[in-house]
Structure 1
Amino acid sequence: MPQLLKRIIFISFLCFFCAVKAQKTSTKKESSKSTLLELEEKKIIINAYGLMNNGEDKKAYKIAHHLLKTSKTQSNLPNTNLLLAYYFNKRSLIDSSLFYTNQALKFSKSKNDSLSYRLSSLGYNLLAINNKKRGLLGESKKWHLKGIEVSQKFNETDLYYTHLHGLALIYSSLEDYNNALKLFKQCLNYKGDEELIIGSYINISDIYGILKDYEKSNWYLNRVKKICEKKNDFQAKAVIAYSLASNYLSQNRTEEAITLFNEAIQIADENELPQIAINAKLSLGIILLENKKAEEAKNIFTNALKDAIHLGYLKEQGEIYNNMKEISLLQNDYKSAYAYANKQSKIKDSIAQLQKDKEINELEVKFKTWQKEKEIRLLQIENKANALEIKNKEEVLAFLNLQKEIIKKRHENKILSLHSVYQKKAMEINSLKKDQQLKLAEIDWQKSTQKITFYSFLAVILPIIGLLFLYYQKLKTQRLLNIKEKTISEQKIMSLVKDQELKLIKATIKGQNKARTKIAKELHDSIGGNLAAIKLQLNSVTTNVDSIHNIQKQLDETYKQVRDLSHNLIPEKFNQNNFSNILEEYLKNLAEIDHLKTSFTAYPKPKIDLIANHLQIEVYKIIQELVTNTLKHARATTIDLQINHFEDKLNILFEDNGIGFDSQKKKIGIGFKNIKERLHTISGSMEIDSIINRGTIINIDISLTK
């Protein structure tokens, strides 16, 4: 029986060993199989990301969507969800992009390694972008700051600059342009992402455009345009067209702005970039609304509103409803205006509510976390209390044992304590003597240091006072010299202005004298002689047909001479259809004055050259009057003249950078009165915009139909 039992135990142990070995081999096979599947799926995802980067978005979407349904491993799901989130973000489908981003973050939180943190940083970037598109700038800013924190923690340079760029965009939207420019310029230092550099250039240009520094704005746009010419980046092209259009609009170059806005809309529509298209349509609608083209503006706003509602752009919806309200007020449709105002208010409320909901959710999460932490702390305290109780019991036992030993050694300690008291008193007496000696030495040292400090202070302060006095005297003399130099330079400027005025007056008088002499000569020699002959013939007039015929002939000739004389009085240069060249030559002659710079533009020149002669003369005299006023009063160093012919109007824009004046308080002088009288005769109007120390802008509109 014992032998049989031993055999049964041996056989069962052998079976158990074989079963365990078989199970281990099967688990090894399963794990190797799952690893192969994981690698295959990873290759598919990498391929899909490559397609997305090469512009084949729809192919990438199909692959990711199929993989999401058929995947047999959990490790590749975060990247698949993130790819779908990027796809929907690119098409501005915010809700879908947010859903897939949250799914990706949910899967990545289960792991705690550098790859999962990198994926979290990418997810935070998508959450920030989508919330910005919805108009939730505070929420967007929060996610970018989280992304920066994670990127710095794990030295993810590319993601750090991506979030830095996104944060700069938020600052720009919040009109904190100084911080925005600072961050965008930091992004230009990173050479690892060309798209990031392109975006930074464009955004820096937009900010300088808002700050009306158009020279810097155009410089940055031209830099990025050269980069985009090398690569076929449609999104950047659309944004550049939009930014240039905004600059032209700010510079009152409306026609060029409209052309570029339409170009941006076309590129955006062809390449599925709805946000750029909506913003361009908004700008076009505002231009039409300012030009009182209410119906055309309404059509554009309606079209943009459909896209904004479809894509969930709350901020753009609010702007469109506001503009639609303005159109309804222009058309006296107060019912519609009230309805649009209500819709705009609802949009604002929904943005505020979304922000509020986010805050409530965050507070709820924080509260639950706090509760869990509290429970954990209580358990930890209980464990510590139990441990302390056990320890106290052990210490009590040890204390009782020690107490017994202490009683034994008390008698020995009494003898030792008496001996130590005696030694202690002796040491105290010695220490008191030493302390007294040290105090005396310290008092002597303090007295000597005070004397040295006082004398060294005097040695330093006296030369400093002397130097300060000399420096004050130098500053005083320099200030007096500056005042004298300023008065001398002002006197020189006044003398130059007076000399220029005298030159203009002399030239005018000389021209007038020549014209008078010519008129007198013509009147005396030709017309006077003819009239005298006609008078003599009339005195001896008869019924003779020949004599009457001679008188008529002489009258015709006299009329022709008067007509020729009147035509000769019109300057010859106005009869050659080169009015633009005349004005340009006039301004070039002015530029010969050494302290004056001139600029002239005319568009379109052929149309301006073909306006009527009498109108050319009036316009020329008006410009002469404006230039004379500037030279006499403005102390300007630059004069800018623009003439534009559009539809049935002639627009003249005259600008100088002189001292300016308060147009509300200052009385109108003789020069401006003469200009107004001339404009009245040719159906024109004038607007004056001038502020002290900022220069003067004069805008003149002349109707060509009247």
Structure 2
Amino acid sequence: MPQMFKSIIFLSFLSFFCISNAQNSKKTPSQKSTPLELQEKRVVSDAFNLLNKNEDKKAYKTAHRLLKESRIKASLTNSNLLLAFYFNKRSQIDSSLFYTQKAMRLNPIANDSLTCRLYSLGYNLLAINNKKRGLLGESKKWHIKGIDISQKFNETDLYYTHVHGLALTYSDLGDYNNALKLFQQCLDYKQSREIMIGSYINIGDIYSILKEYEKSNWYLYKVKALCEKGSDFQAKAVIAYNLGANYQYQNKIEEAISLYNEAIEIADKNELPQIAINARLSVGNILLERKKTEEAKDIFSSALNDAIKLGYLTEQGNIYDNLQEISLMQNDYKDAYFYAGKSVKIKDSIAHLQKEKEINELEVKFKTWQKEKEISLLQIENKANVLELKNKEEALQFFNLQEEINQKANENKILSLNNISQKKASEIVSLKKDQLLKTAEINWQKQTKNITFISFVVFLIPIIGLLFLYYQRLKTQRLLNLSEKEISEQKIISLVKDQELKLIKASIKGQDKARAKIAQELHDSIGGNLAAIKLQLNSIASKPDIVHSIREQLEETYQQVRDLSHNLIPEKFSQNKFSSLLEEYQKSLAEIDHLKTSFTAYPRQKIDSITESLQMEIYKIIQELVTNTLKHAKATTIDLQLNYVEDNLNILFEDNGIGFDSQKKEEGIGFKNINSRLYSVSGSMEIDSMINRGTIINIDIPLNEFHFKTE
């Protein structure tokens, strides 16, 4: 039976941020916004509107431009948050988390309403991304933090956003009573259409889990009517999926399959991969129940590839379980054992990630307890010191009283001793004279010793200084020698790499030129001659039998030459799928030390059907990009993405190298070659790079029906 899929509506969160962005413009009279600040706020607001209208590429470019050019903190914060929503919408979890944390670091203390909105939106993104990874405890924690901070500053819209998200998490955890209460609470919030839609869908989903299918269908059909006239593609896909699940539970299999296929079609068309994966899993379960193991295995394998690329741990575990069951049904125990191991590994990974978070929290609590204990001990020690000080003061007072008593008792003794003192005074005077003479002699000896010591120190300090300077010079010389040695080694390595790249490029270019030249010669010279002979023979009618025989032989020869000329296109493009060829090329780059590569193509089938001549141009453009990165960027990662959207092929090439100033840097031979090839296919290129931040190159090539192979 299918596993139910919980929906999250993202558009409301984007509109909320636009509201917060508008509030940011409110300042005190002493803090009026400058014209530049007002202009950039309008640009950011327009970019969020573009994202809401599914014009994602324009919003993405605007955000990157602001990150590169702006020096205003609010603009940088909003641009990072916009990119976080952009990648979240595409289920690219790591990228979304990176830009979320970057935005929150720009505003470290949430002590006012404006910063509260930023943190609340950041907590929501953290919760959503952790939920997508299957870390439900972590998702619950971030939603509760978002609710607390929203209540503190009376942010109603963000409060209901987190209530809705927390209800989804409760539902995933199986706490349906609390989930239903929170979703019903969200239905009372009429200001957000998206939250209402999400609440209707999830209430229907929970009733389906509770096997109250009539109630479930009532809520789902009600929200379906609400979405009919809108562009809520994600909601439409989820509704179709959940209705299909209800029909499957009611054993209405054909209706269920029809609705699942409807969900897959909407999800694929609008880039909603998680919904598409779950719908394919449900269709695979139906095929498995019908004992159609091979068909089920194909659809599970397809879903597994998407789940691995997008990092969906829970879905991977479910798919491995199903593939294990299929292998057991086919008596393939080796594959069954393999899939069982994969499933256990995925589940252990999820448990480990959650356990690691719990351990970190316990460690923080333990350290806090230790600090509190230390503070308590210090407080006790302080009190003891205060008491001890008071005791000493009382003892001093007692001692003073005792002294006064003794002084009065001694006054009488003093009178009797005065006479004795006067007698001894004369003796003391004579003794003092002797003492003064001895003191003068001692002082003279001390002065002599001091002068000797100071002279020695004055003489020693310059010697120490010279020794220190000599040591520093030796140390600097050694470091300079080491630096020169490292620079020489780097130059040698760079020259070797450049030479290897030049040899590889020259070899490939020479092979392609030789093949093209042979093909052109065969087609233009031999083929042209045969065609001319054929035309001349068509005019001979006196000997029809001989003419017919010659014409057939010439026709066969002409066809062979034509086929040969077409077959001389490089074999790697004619015998391999283009996406696989690029993927193998990326893997070969990974053999270079300290270099990680990744490659994605969507949709692969459409990209593989591009004509071979255009494939060759694209392949050479990518080779030039890789060559530039290896020669100049000092990168450790290379990411290549190909996407075909709306009759347009987009190539996104990104590295984490040292970058460069794209406005000041002169165009080298590599970029000139790329621009020349792009000109031949009417393409365009945008470069986004800064010093020490890496490089992003965005290439667009318009395509039409003539750019694709005919079957």
TM-score under structure 1 length normalisation: 0.49
TM-score under structure 2 length normalisation: 0.49
Q: Which has the larger radius of gyration?
A: 1
